[in-house]
Amino acid sequence: MLPSAAGVVFNQLGFAEVHEAPAMEPSPMSFTLHPSPLLHHFAFSPLALFQNPTFAASSAVALAGGGRLASSSSSSVLPLRVFEADSPAYTSHANQCSDGISANEYNTSNNITVNQKSHRVSSSLSVSAMRMKKVKRKVREPRFCFKTMSEVDVLDDGYKWRKYGQKVVKNTQHPRSYYRCTQDSCRVKKRVERLAEDPRMVITTYEGRHAHSPSRDEDEHTQASSSSKLASFLW
């Protein structure tokens, strides 16, 4: 762990982890997310997660998404790392998230090896690497992943998901679940699994980009809070 701003550390995987102080306290934190032009590339807005009670109750949060994150208890603004689908940085993070490769197993020198081995899963082989192999690959949607400490597997991110599969992944105790957005024309998918090293941590990987707004039916009618306005601004 590399210490950064107060309450925020970058772990070995390069994720920004936001810790409550002390970590035992269950009281929710609130965050201000500064919108980034890159946010719209992703399947959901991290802000919505932070506004969600389930998510906010997590004592530790790690993100690999767009934008900048600022804790309300301090004025410091934490720049989050933004990954594009074909970038090596994204690749390494996506692979680690979705394929359970631990930080110990991973280093930059074996980047290509890891990519090639699991490109079908992550589909984030760099263009040059793909040309090298002269293999035609299906173009995948932008993906990113994050992890949260949570008792529940599926966090409410404002969208409606339908589970379409579950798979036991090799060398892990916990199955990986596959979800698809229930919206007809929407092809966004997400995978949910628990970290092998720490089952308290939930890894969520989003693939694709929603072509619609969140379907939080009743809430939209009953709540006219400024936070929801801000959320819709970000979507």
Structure tokens at 190: 């997400």
Whether 162 contacts 155, CB under 8 Å: no
State how far the alpha carbon of 171 is from the alpha carbons of 8, 105, 146, 191, in Å: 30, 14, 21, 17
**Span from 3-11, 85-93, 166-174, 220-228 in contact with DNA (CB under 7 A):** 166-174
Residue 194: burial class (beta carbons within 10 Å; 0-12, 13-18, 19+): buried
Q: Does residue 131 belong to the site contacting DNA (CB under 7 A)?
A: no
* Rounded distance between C-alpha atoms, residue 229 and residue 214, angstroms: 13
Q: Per-residue b/e over 103-130, b at no fewer than 16 CB within 10 Å?
A: eeebeeeebeebbeebbeebbbbbeebb
Among 83, 161, 194, 231, binds DNA (CB under 7 A): 161
Is 191 a binder of DNA (CB under 7 A)?
Answer: yes
Q: Does 165 sit near DNA (CB under 7 A)?
A: yes
Supply 210's token pair. 């929603």
User: Exactly one of 164, 198, 213, 232 binds DNA (CB under 7 A); which one?
Assistant: 164
The yes or no reply on residue 189 touching DNA (CB under 7 A) is yes
Q: Does 134 bind DNA (CB under 7 A)?
A: no
Smallest distance from DNA to CB 229, Å: 26
Task: Tell me which of 34, 41, 160, 209 binds DNA, using CB under 7 A.
Answer: 160
By the rule CB under 7 A, 163 interacts with DNA: yes
Taking the complex as a whole, the smallest distance from the CB of residue 52 to DNA amounts, in Å, to: 17
Using CB under 7 A, which residues numbered 99 to 118 contact DNA? Answer: 99, 116-117
Contact 157, 44 (CB under 8 A): yes
In the complex, which residues of this chain contact DNA (CB under 7 A)? 98-99, 116-117, 119-122, 135, 137-138, 160-167, 169-170, 176-179, 182, 189, 191
